[in-house]
Amino acid sequence: MKKLLRLAFCALFLGLFLISCDDDDYQTVESVDKIKIDSVKIVKDTMDVFSIQHIKTYSTYPSHCEGFYGYDYVYDTKFDRTVTSYKYRSSGPCGQGSYTAASQINFSPQQTGTYTFRFWNGGNNWITKTIVVE
């Protein structure tokens, strides 16, 4: 009787495990593409070397099936940075309307100087910001 009870318990446990692994509630990323940066918020335009500043960028996404994917953060020269934002598009139900979301870059300069950031704003348009590091 104990063996039969133990076998039934193991079968029930295995059945629950297999059912829980069949999860279709996730959304698949279908594509990744550039998205323009609408605005940039830099709290301090002067900062100390080795300190950290959180630079926020804001983009408007056309639907709730899209969201922030990542940055292309390029060191053009010693003190020049070019930043392009990328969005993902996923499968699944989308909410109505567009929305604006913030993303963040953590800037921690390693030497003093004047840093120039260019944020892609669509086409050949860029938002330029300067941070002096002392």
Each residue's pLDDT tens digit, 8-33 = 555 544 444 445 454 556 678 899 99
pLDDT, position 60: 98
What are the boundaries of each domain within the chain?
A: 26-133
**CA pair distance 54, 126, nearest whole angstrom:** 20
Pair of tokens at residue 64: 């709730």
Radius of gyration of the chain (CA): 24
Encode pLDDT of 81-91 as tens digits.
999 999 999 98
CATH of region 26-133: 2.60.40
Residue 2: the pLDDT is 52
What are the structure tokens assigned to 87, written together?
């969005």
Compute the distance between CA of residue 39 and CA of residue 61 in angstroms, rounded to an integer. 13
For 41-83, the pLDDT digits (tens) are 999 999 999 999 999 999 999 999 999 999 999 999 999 999 9
Q: Give 128's contacts (C-beta < 8 A, 6+ positions apart).
A: 116, 117, 118, 119
Task: Using alpha carbons, list the distances in angstroms from residue 107 to 22, 52, 98.
Answer: 42, 6, 29
